[in-house]
Chain A
Amino acid sequence: MKRLTAGLVALLLSGCSNYAVLDPHGESAGSISELLLLFFWVCSIIWLIVMLALAYAIFRKRPAVSGADLLLGAAEQNRQLTAIVSVCVAITFLVLTGLTFSSYIAGKAVADMAQRGTLTIRITGYQWWWDVEYEDTRPDHIIYTANEIHVPVGEAVKVKLESGDVIHSLWIPSLFGKRDLIPGQHNELTFIAEKTGIYRGQCAEFCGLQHAYMGLTVVAEPRATFDAWRLSQLMPAAAPKQDLQVGLNVFLTRGCALCHTIRGTSAGGRVAPDLTHIASRHTLAAGALDMKPDQLARWISDPQAIKPGSKMPWIDLNPDEMRAVTSYVGSLR
């Protein structure tokens, strides 16, 4: 029964063309989904054979036998049964060995990629957002951002995972399997994105009230585009133009700067996402909203209505201050 349900669920899921696990765009996701399909088909076929054998056993016509026949046939029957069971055990052994090996090979393919990393990203999970740092040997080439990573297509990217509070887990179904972020422990994974595109990642370990809204955007792009993005992220925020100066003042004097950093200004809080280039990201509030001016205004005006319990407080700004700070933050490309 369990197998039946599992098979049905898998069949139903394969009907969803958007189901990311079955639509891999990365090397490790590829080997994992191949493994999944192999297991699925092998198990389905075995299940079918077992069901047919069962049906045969239930519905076959039994010949009428007398007691004498039974005794005579016992030895012959015994030999037959032994042969059948031995063959079945041998087949089971072979199938299990085969599956074990394929699982080992898939695991090795994922682990082997660690040697080929060209880019190292450190991701720290917090309730409920991702802090991102692109490591570099030169301190002035380190990029700080949040909730969105860009990676060059076809290159192995090493991700170092840490947690700042509770256990989280990073999962980008199209690109790689899950890996936990554990406080006090250093985890790593390496992945290759094989196709340009925007992928959604998600926290896969229940981590509190807003676990569902802890998303990560992965942008896979050609090397040239990636380099351009990297250069733009290294720049401090542009000095605000005349009318945006008011917004910066609100940001600095009404408490935003206690938690957030905008490089190039005196806002230097380090406990919340870096906002230096926030308007260049695709999403807001770790995937809860799209990066659009009206949604930004909604988020700033009442974060607790959108992500109840999130660490971003409601600040009592008057409409003028609200407009000013929204247009300033929205201008940080």
Chain B
Amino acid sequence: MKSVFLLCLVVVLAACQREERDFTKRKESEPPDTVSVSPLHPGNPPITTLEESKYEQSAYDVAEGKRLYQWFNCTGCHFNGGGGIGPALMDDKWIYGSSIENIVKTIKEGRPNGMPSFGGLIPEKETWQLAAYVRALGGFVAKDVAPSRNDDLSASPAENRLPSPKPYNGKAP
């Protein structure tokens, strides 16, 4: 009996581990200038190991990035990731690099042929959240972290919003 009780206690405690949401104001570290935007380089390949950003590991931050992606009208050019006026974000072509540092730099500095610079406009933390969402669009983010697709992108309405079907009267439909 005692062991069952203890086991229950341990199982209950396991539920305490919850994703942290960071609401403190803290300066983000700038992505280093040495982040290369292209795999092409002279000589031997540079050994750069980029740590996975904490923003990519937090479902909350990625979901916030998704909200900001709509709010700041990224959809205006990139649509829902499929691209249109701007390049697609859900394919495997990354003109200026696919690491989160690359994407943060792209958002902050802008890129030739249309990508405006949002440095100074979008606050630091929000830029990282946006970049994390862009990574999620590209499929780089763990599945339990990536936000789900919008309801309005589905081909048919959700099952609970479908009109009720005609009653089946025994004949073949």
A295 CB, min distance to chain B CBs, angstroms:
18
> How many angstroms from the CA of A258 to the CA of B72 in the assembled complex?
7
Contacts of A315 in B (CB 8 A): 123
A133 at the interface (CB under 8 A from B): no
Q: Mark B6-29, 1 if CB is under 8 A from A, else 0.
A: 000000000000000101110100
> How many angstroms from the CA of A155 to the CA of B108 in the assembled complex?
52
Contact-residue bracket for chain B: 10 to 19
A222 at the interface (CB under 8 A from B): no
A308 touches B120 (CB 8 A): no
Q: Mark B100-133, 1 if CB is under 8 A from A, else 0.
A: 0000000000000000000011111110000000
A20 at the interface (CB under 8 A from B): no
Within the complex, which residue of A254, A304, A305, A314 is in contact with B121, where a contact is CB–CB below 8 Å?
A254
B24 touches A304 (CB 8 A): yes
Within the complex, which residue of A253, A269, A314 is in contact with B120, where a contact is CB–CB below 8 Å?
A253
Q: Mark A285-315, 1 if CB is under 8 A from B, else 0.
A: 0000000000000000010110011010111
A313 touches B23 (CB 8 A): no
Q: Mark B56-97, 1 if CB is under 8 A from A, else 0.
A: 000000000001000110000000000000000000000000
B133 CB, min distance to chain A CBs, angstroms:
15
A313 touches B121 (CB 8 A): no
A314 touches B122 (CB 8 A): no
**Beyond A258-B72, A314-B125, is A304–B23 a contact (Cβ under 8 Å)?**
yes
A302 touches B25 (CB 8 A): yes
> How many angstroms from the CA of A254 to the CA of B24 in the assembled complex?
20
Within the complex, which residue of B25, B71, B125 is in contact with A259, where a contact is CB–CB below 8 Å?
B71
Q: Which residue of chain A has its CB nearest to the CB of B70?
A: A271
Contacts of B122 in A (CB 8 A): 255, 258
> Could you tell me the dominant secondary structure of chain A's interface residues?
loop
A313 touches B71 (CB 8 A): no
A129 CB, min distance to chain B CBs, angstroms:
14
Q: Which residue of chain A has its CB nearest to the CB of B121?
A: A255
> How many angstroms from the CA of A269 to the CA of B71 in the assembled complex?
9
B21 CB, min distance to chain A CBs, angstroms:
7
Contacts of A309 in B (CB 8 A): 21, 23
B25 touches A304 (CB 8 A): yes
> How many angstroms from the CA of A143 to the CA of B126 in the assembled complex?
31
B123 touches A255 (CB 8 A): yes
> How many angstroms from the CA of A309 to the CA of B19 in the assembled complex?
14
> How many angstroms from the CA of A305 to the CA of B25 in the assembled complex?
8
Q: Mark A262-282, 1 if CB is under 8 A from B, else 0.
A: 000000010100000000000
B residues in contact (CB < 8 Å) with A: 21, 23-25, 27, 67, 71-72, 120-126
A residues in contact (CB < 8 Å) with B: 253-255, 258-259, 269, 271, 302, 304-305, 308-309, 311, 313-316
A253-B121, A258-B122 known; 19 other A-B pairs, CB under 8 Å? A253-B120, A254-B120, A254-B121, A255-B123, A258-B71, A258-B72, A258-B121, A259-B71, A271-B71, A302-B25, A304-B24, A304-B25, A305-B23, A305-B25, A308-B23, A313-B125, A313-B126, A316-B123, A316-B124
Q: Which 8 A-B pairs have the closest CB atoms?
A: A308-B23, A304-B23, A314-B25, A255-B121, A313-B123, A271-B71, A315-B123, A313-B126
